[in-house]
Amino acid sequence: MHLNAADVEAIERATVQAVAPAQVDTLAGWLLPMDHGTINRARSAVPLHHGAHDAALFDAIRERYTAAGLAPVFRLPEVPAFEAGLHLLRAQGFEPHQTTFTQTCATAALAQARVPAMRVELADTPDAAWMAMYLGECLDPVDGAHRARSLSRAVGTRFASLRENGETVACGAASFSHGWLGVHGMRTAAAHRGRGLAGALMRAMAQEAQRQGIAHTFLQVDAGNTGALALYRRLGFQSAWAYAYWRRAPVPHAA
Residues 40, 115, single domain; the answer is: no
Cβ pair 44, 73 in contact under 8 A:
yes
Dist. CA 64–CA 79, nearest whole Å: 24
Q: What is the pLDDT of residue 44?
A: 97
Name beta bridge partners: 219.
103, 183
Residues 95, 111, single domain; the answer is: no
Looking at per-residue pLDDT, the higher value among 30 and 149 belongs to: 30
120 within domain boundaries? yes
Q: What is the pLDDT of residue 254?
A: 45
Q: What is the pLDDT of residue 166?
A: 87
Examine the pLDDT at 252 and tell me if it is beyond 90. Answer: no
Q: What is the largest CA-CA distance in the chain?
A: 61
Residues 36, 142, single domain; the answer is: no
Residues 216, 130, single domain; the answer is: yes
The gap from C-alpha 192 to its chain's centroid, in whole angstroms, comes to 24
Residues 118, 227, single domain; the answer is: yes
Rounded-to-5 percentages of helix, strand, coil across the chain: 35, 30, 30
Residues 163, 182, single domain; the answer is: yes
Residues of the chain with pLDDT > 70, as a percent, come to 94
Mean local confidence (pLDDT), 42-59 = 92
Q: What is the pLDDT of residue 26?
A: 96
Examine the pLDDT at 251 and tell me if it is beyond 60. Answer: no
Query: DSSP letter at 45?
Result: B
Specify the amino acid at residue 15. Answer: T
Residues 119, 89, single domain; the answer is: no
Examine the pLDDT at 124 and tell me if it is beyond 90. Answer: yes
Residues 44, 81, single domain; the answer is: yes
- Among 49, 208, 221, residue whose Cα is nearest residue 123: 208
Specify the amino acid at residue 209. Answer: A
Q: What is the pLDDT of residue 150?
A: 78
Residues 115, 206, single domain; the answer is: yes
Range of the domain at 203: 105-241
Lowest mean pLDDT, pick from 52-61, 199-208, 232-241: 52-61
Examine the pLDDT at 223 and tell me if it is beyond 70. Answer: yes
The gap from C-alpha 231 to its chain's centroid, in whole angstroms, comes to 17
Dist. CA 131–CA 73, nearest whole Å: 28
Q: What is the pLDDT of residue 139?
A: 61
Residues 119, 230, single domain; the answer is: yes
Mean local confidence (pLDDT), 45-71 = 93
Mean local confidence (pLDDT), 106-134 = 92
Examine the pLDDT at 163 and tell me if it is beyond 70. Answer: yes
Dist. CA 42–CA 112, nearest whole Å: 32
Rg of the chain in Å (alpha carbons): 19
Dist. CA 253–CA 191, nearest whole Å: 43
Residues 140, 111, single domain; the answer is: yes
Residue 40 pLDDT class (50, 70, 90 cuts): very high
Specify the amino acid at residue 162. Answer: L
Examine the pLDDT at 23 and tell me if it is beyond 50. Answer: yes
255 within domain boundaries? no
Number of domain units in the chain: 2
Examine the pLDDT at 66 and tell me if it is beyond 90. Answer: yes
Examine the pLDDT at 2 and tell me if it is beyond 90. Answer: no
Looking at per-residue pLDDT, the higher value among 54 and 110 belongs to: 110
| 78-90 pLDDT per residue, tens | 999 888 888 889 9
Exposed, middle or buried, 169 (CB in 10 Å: 0-12/13-18/19+)?
A: buried
Residues 174, 214, single domain; the answer is: yes
Exposed, middle or buried, 252 (CB in 10 Å: 0-12/13-18/19+)?
A: exposed
